[in-house]
Amino acid sequence: MKKTALIVLSITFSLIIVEILLRMAGFKPWKNYETNQNIIFEPIKNLGWKSKKGTYTISAGSANNKSEISIGDKGNRLNQIENISGNKSKIIFVGGSFTQGWGVNDNQTFVSKIQNKYQNFKVINFGQGGYGGVQSLILLKDEIKNLKNTKLVVYGFIEHHQYRNVARSSWLESLSKFSTQGYYKEPKVPFATLDGSGKLKLNKPISYLRLPLRENSSIITLLEKVYMKQSTKSRKKIQQKVTKKIFKDMDELTKENNSKYLVVILDWINSGTNKSYKKFLSDEKIMFVDCKIDLNDKTLIKGDYHPNEIGHNKYYECIKNFLSKKKLLL
């Protein structure tokens, strides 16, 4: 009995020492990013989450940076002009928060500006905060078959989508910490891998590991981090291959529905990985336009990493000029 007690005491003492050392080294227990943000997303089985209908006031960067986001019946971001007939030919936008227009008003998104310019088309913004290529592809598969006369599908791509596409550990961790910032609790992420023949394999949504006492113990938080890094390690190696296959599958899907497909690169100028993707798109004859801008104090929402109205104006001008040059909407 004494021997057992000594073992327990020894283990307990060792754990306490490790906990103290971890905290001294700056490794703190788990902590969510707290905010009073309105919850504008709801859980969707195959997509993980989707914006829910309504009008919301959100803060991006700081409590003073408020914007109004209006969401339609299908989870789509509404444009400034919404009285365009649904019988008209359609332009569909998919992508993440840059496409959705997180942090700017309905009339300030580059998609809304495209609608203002091309009022002989019905422009639908299916961009969703936190989406990458996988969710955009799943959503597009669900929606394009129900939307008749789709002239053009536009995918707003940023380099970070490659991490989301394979559910990298760092992305799952960020989502878990941001779960109070407009996301429902512990969002789950669908991700893709490749099967033996190189085809895209869509996997069920997963979330970051959540162990008891994570908020109270640095040891528990470290165990979560180590486990998640090891369990997602193999997917890191295929993130570019998966992303390129998503480009290809989107292209094939739009062709099957007699639509045109355009990839718009919405990254920052110093983004490096895009060289590989641009070469792939060019080699595969997939239409794309590089709309990278210098994301800085002038083009970003203050205290945030999303583009402000100036940034959206630059994206709009780039896309508008490309559409005009290629005569895509004639």
Model pLDDT for residues 204-213, shown as the tens digit of each residue: 899 998 888 8
Most confident residue range from 8-17, 60-69, 100-109 = 100-109
- CA-based angle 170:263:150, to the nearest 5? 120
Please check the confidence at residue 15 and state whether its pLDDT lies above 90: no
Residue type, 78: L
The class that CATH gives domain 41-326 is: alpha beta
Most confident residue range from 5-9, 33-37, 154-158 = 154-158
Please check the confidence at residue 271 and state whether its pLDDT lies above 90: no
Domain ranges for the chain: 1-30, 41-326
Run of H or E residues at 221: helix 218-236
Q: Measure the CA–CA gap between 312 and 84, rounded to whole angstroms.
A: 22
For 189, the token pair is: 């992420």
Please check the confidence at residue 182 and state whether its pLDDT lies above 60: no
- Closest C-alpha among 126, 131, 220 to residue 167: 131
- Closest C-alpha among 157, 149, 45 to residue 95: 157
- Tokens 């959705």 correspond to 100
pLDDT tier, 45 (very low <50, low <70, confident <90, very high otherwise): confident
Q: Which residues pair with 192 in a beta bridge?
A: 202
Characterise 26 by phi-psi region: left (phi > 0), alpha (psi -120 to 50), beta (else).
left
Please check the confidence at residue 243 and state whether its pLDDT lies above 70: yes
CB atoms within 10 A of CB 230: 10
